[in-house]
Structure 1
Amino acid sequence: MPASDRNRWNDRYRAEPGIPAPSPFLTSLDALLPRHGRALDVAGGSGRNALWLARRGLDVTLADVSDVALARAAAAARAEALPLATVLVDLETAPLPAGPWDVVVCTYFLHRPLFDAFQAALAPGGLLVVAHATRTNLERNPRPGPAHVLEDGELPALVAGLELLRSEEGWMESGRYEARVVARKGAGRG
């Protein structure tokens, strides 16, 4: 990612009035998600999802390209005495933080080569949670732009090899047309 992109994200997080609420999709999975183990929040910004996972009792690592966002998340975690590690990383050019992970969450970040890495990084029985806009979203919303959306119907194929627990696609409470999946790595897969 060019430095100008990192600066743009840093500017965005500097202007953010506070850490937003966690993803409604993620919180709707409360009964399914574990309350202990290791979790990775991929491109999680200022930690809205990472902090929620940590409050549940998970040891969470938040990976993002914005040092401003990571500093905000780390400060919020310290204030609540939550287990949160932060990793400054450009996930378009560098590997995921080392697993195994009991939960990997990736909301609103798309880099297709990561899907193989997600599967490899999951612990046996681990869960992958993904939500992202698809091409239909462009009918009502200019962002993310055409180069940064899933094709309609594409997401389930990107998690092939995992057990699909939940899959949906449509206009969501966010006002975006999204694809969402929850998938589990088989217990026998290492």
Structure 2
Amino acid sequence: MSQEDRQRWNDRYQQASAPREPSDFLRSLADRLPRKGRALDLAGGPGHDACWLARRGLDVTLVDISDVALAQAETLARDAGVSLTRLRLDLEAEALPPGPFDLVVCLNYLWRPLFAAVPGLLAPGGLFVFAQPTRSNLQRHPHPSARFLLDEGELPTLLQGLQSLSFTEGWTGSGRHEARVLARRPVNDSQG
């Protein structure tokens, strides 16, 4: 991403009104997610999901390109009484934080080359949670644009080196057409 992209995201987060709730999809997986260990929230914005994970007992690293979002995450974490490691990082140009992580979360951010890095970020048995709108979403919503949408049926093809534990694609309760997955790095996988 360029400096222009960083500024666009800073402006967007600066103009956001109220803090958002943690993702419904992430919360729906509560019984399947770890309660201890390390978690990485990629493109986590103002930290609503990262703080929810930290309240559950995880040591969370939040990565985002926006300085404004990371400052909002710091405030949210302080108000929630949790600690977050916050890193300003351009996921498309800079090295990812070193793993292994027990959980990697990436919601509403699509950069296809990232999928190749995820297995190496995860500890054996570690979980990956991902959700992103598909092109069908354009039937009801002009945003995100097609450039940032998955093709229908594409998500399972991106999960090389991971076992899919659950996969859905369709209209959600929030009215978006999304592909969602919970996947795991095989326990006996010694790559990394």
Shorter-chain TM-score: what band?
A: over 0.9
**How much does 1:141 deviate?**
1.0
**How much does 1:174 deviate?**
1.8
For residues 161 and 139 of structure 1, the distance between their equivalents in structure 2, rounded to whole angstroms, comes to 32
CA contact (8 A) 1:19 1:47 kept: no
**How much does 1:172 deviate?**
0.6
Amino acid across the alignment from 1:130: F
- Name the structure 2 match of 1:179: 179
Unpaired runs of 5+ in structure 2? none
- Name the structure 2 match of 1:125: 125
- Name the structure 1 match of 2:72: 72
**How much does 1:18 deviate?**
2.7
- Name the structure 2 match of 1:21: 21
- Name the structure 1 match of 2:54: 54
- Name the structure 2 match of 1:134: 134
- Name the structure 1 match of 2:83: 83
**How much does 1:10 deviate?**
0.6
TM-score, length of structure 2 as denominator length: 0.96
For residues 131 and 95 of structure 2, the distance between their equivalents in structure 1, rounded to whole angstroms, comes to 20
CA contact (8 A) 1:58 1:83 kept: no
> Is 1:109 matched with 2:109?
yes
For residues 95 and 66 of structure 2, the distance between their equivalents in structure 1, rounded to whole angstroms, comes to 16
> Is 1:32 matched with 2:32?
yes
Identity, in percent, stands at 54
| SS, match of residue 169 in structure 2 | strand
CA contact (8 A) 2:48 2:76 kept: no
**How much does 1:97 deviate?**
1.2
Unpaired runs of 5+ in structure 1? none
**How much does 1:95 deviate?**
2.2
Aligned ranges 1:86-101 → 2 under 5 Å: 86-101=86-101
Structure 1 residues 15-24 or 85-94, which shifts more? 15-24
**How much does 1:168 deviate?**
0.2
- Name the structure 2 match of 1:162: 162
Q: CA RMSD in A?
A: 1.0
| SS, match of residue 36 in structure 1 | coil
Amino acid across the alignment from 1:109: Y
| SS, match of residue 31 in structure 2 | coil
For residues 186 and 163 of structure 1, the distance between their equivalents in structure 2, rounded to whole angstroms, comes to 7
CA contact (8 A) 1:99 1:121 kept: yes
Question: Which deviations, in whole Å up to 9, do the C-alpha atoms of 1:103-162 show, x marking residues without a partner?
Answer: 000000000000011111000110000000111111111111111111100001111321
Amino acid across the alignment from 2:125: G
- Name the structure 2 match of 1:3: 3
> Is 1:153 matched with 2:153?
yes
Question: Which deviations, in whole Å up to 9, do the C-alpha atoms of 1:47-68 show, x marking residues without a partner?
Answer: 1110110010000000000000
TM-score, length of structure 1 as denominator length: 0.97
Amino acid across the alignment from 1:35: R
